């Protein structure tokens, strides 16, 4: 815990400091699109979240990093009431020390979740 910083309410770190001389990988918003067809997959929030996280991992891996190298995540939810479910699924993919994280409600044009991230490439 950091002094004078409120403890996080979910699976995220309040702040992450990176060393000088590192490269950052900025991952644009990933969605529940099938990598082969580009079509939206999954009718439930859980299905779409798991595929979106898998797509995030694919991009990070392709960029030379791993999920453990992610330092910041921004999550967009079509329904803010899905926050608790999202946090449970997120904890199956990320572990402490968690990346920083912001979760916001957004109009996502037919999808239920979108996730962007920043990773350190070592």
pLDDT tens per residue, range 40-93 = 999 999 999 999 999 999 999 888 899 999 999 999 999 999 999 999 999 999
Q: What angle do CA 24, 90, 17 make, to 5 degrees?
A: 35
Q: What is the pTM of this model?
A: 0.87
DSSP 10: S
**Residue 79 — φ and ψ, nearest 5°?**
-130, 110
The three state secondary structure string of 39-71 is CECCCCHHHHHHHHHHHHHHHHHHCCCCHHHEE
Q: What is the mean pLDDT of residues 27-42?
A: 90
Which residues partner with 101 through β-bridges? 73
- Output the CA torsion sign for 58, 79, 76, 110: positive
DSSP 38: -
113 bridge partner residues: 77
- Angle at CA 58, nearest 5°, toward 54 and 63? 150
């Amino acid at each position: 815990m950091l002094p004078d910083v409120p403890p996080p309410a979910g699976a995220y770190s309040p702040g992450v400091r990176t060393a000088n001389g590192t490269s950052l990988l900025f991952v644009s918003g990933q969605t529940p699109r099938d990598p082969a067809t580009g079509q939206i997959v999954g009718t439930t929030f859980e299905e779409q979240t798991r595929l979106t996280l898998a797509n995030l991992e694919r991009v990070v891996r392709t960029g030379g990093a791993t999920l453990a190298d992610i330092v910041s995540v921004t999550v967009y939810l079509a329904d803010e009431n899905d926050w608790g479910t999202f946090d449970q699924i997120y904890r199956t993919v990320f572990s402490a020390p968690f990346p920083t994280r912001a979760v916001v409600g957004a109009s996502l044009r037919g999808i239920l979740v979108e996730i962007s991230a920043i990773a350190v490439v070592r």
